[in-house]
Structure 1
């Protein structure tokens, strides 16, 4: 992703063993996404592939540790970055990963409008692959009960970025969104293995084929609409027809509007 979505940057302070692995490289910092950590692309060594470094402190360090564990598990089933090195110490975490090839689904949809129906079909197919991973094999819980608890903590701490709300909740307060989604409870859900943040910037493609995904820190057992809602919302930037095609190609004739709205609202807290 060597474009305006990243800027040249200085290296963060690194533990010795990670510094040795990246010595001689240059760094660019990713300026897109809501991963919670600072992400750097490390490049510039002839004959060596790029690497990615995710760094964070405090609660973000714990999130990065969660992502490391999920990458190691998900790699059995789908293509995700390989963990090259990981360290957590004194409230700081560093996760060094291999880079996936290809371009993001957002870039593909932006650059080739004529291919959008095929791209959405590929996204739906890849999402079905994730949701078909045997649920009993998944050691991680990411269901809406857990996410609601975390959302409530962020609400009370005043940590919700209301300026980043999507069109559905634009201009509302975090409390109003909370009241809206909790009024939709209880939900009838179908627990599957989910990516957790299945946005267009987190999906890598080669042509019309999805080759893998990144930012897996929220992966775990949850309602399938956790992923569907985020992807559906992203596709709305391009056209309602692509949103409809997502559900058609995924295999849902009549989308559950209650579950869709709930997960759209819940995601605003993160």
Structure 2
């Protein structure tokens, strides 16, 4: 990952069973999409693959556990990190995984801006394949009704980071986001198997194609706009032409603005 999205750090305090697995690695802390937990990239050990370690406490430990379970299921449908070690205590969780080859879609767009349309096409192909997985095969519910119940609990517990809102919601309170979402309901359901957090940092590309995904703790059955909205929003950094291309490459000629707005607001609360 590029230097702006991670920084070198010393190893954190670790359980002895994990410390033995990661001896000899250099450490870097990921500064993107941590959702309250900590994510480290372990690299530079001769003859050994790069690894990632996630650590969470309290409710974030539950999120790390959710990711472990979803990794096991998704492995049959998409390339995902292989679990090396998982350790859970009543209040903490550690998840050690192998790294997927390739570079993130964000890195690719920064390094090859002229290749943006082809990169977006690869992302759209990946989403179409993911969304084509039969919903009957997926045991995880992530629809907006379920996510709204989680969001309401996060608001009540003062867990929403309003300083991290998108520019369009700068200065908003979490309650204002909640009320804006309610005004967009109801939504016509269009359930598919979703990744749940398809940011450009969570998709890996190699040789022009998506080779896998990471950060799958929110995967489950939801409206396809759960994925499309987040990816569309991330592409805004690289211009509206690529945002438009996402929908045309995916096969949607007229995006549903109501669903787009709703899912972008919902994401602010997580």
Task: Note whether the superposition's TM-score is higher than 0.5.
Answer: yes
SS in structure 1 of the partner of residue 4 of structure 2: coil
Moved over 3 A (4+): none
Which residue does the alignment assign to 1:218? 218
CA contact (8 A) 2:197 2:215 kept: yes
Quick check: 1:255 aligned with 2:255?
yes
Q: TM-score, normalised by structure 2?
A: 0.96
Which residue does the alignment assign to 1:5? 5
Which residue does the alignment assign to 1:185? 185
Which residue does the alignment assign to 1:116? 116
Q: TM-score, normalised by structure 1?
A: 0.96
Say what the alpha-carbon RMSD is for the aligned residues. Answer: 1.3
After superposing the two structures, state which structure 1 stretch, 215-224 or 153-162, moved more. 153-162
Quick check: 1:73 aligned with 2:64?
no
Matched residues, number: 270
**Structure 1: gaps of 5 or more residues:** none
Quick check: 1:52 aligned with 2:57?
no
Cα drift, residue 107 of structure 1: 1.2
Provide the C-alpha distance between the structure 1 equivalents of 2:133 and 2:224, rounded to a whole number of angstroms. 12
Cα drift, residue 66 of structure 1: 0.3
Provide the C-alpha distance between the structure 2 equivalents of 1:77 and 1:191, rounded to a whole number of angstroms. 17
Provide the C-alpha distance between the structure 2 equivalents of 1:166 and 1:79, rounded to a whole number of angstroms. 30
- 1:119-177 C-alpha deviation (Å, 9 max, x unpaired): 10110110111111111111111110111011111222222212211133222222111
**Structure 2: gaps of 5 or more residues:** none
CA contact (8 A) 1:35 1:215 kept: no
Which residue does the alignment assign to 2:90? 90
Provide the C-alpha distance between the structure 2 equivalents of 1:216 and 1:72, rounded to a whole number of angstroms. 10
After superposing the two structures, state which structure 1 stretch, 13-22 or 43-52, moved more. 13-22
Quick check: 1:234 aligned with 2:234?
yes
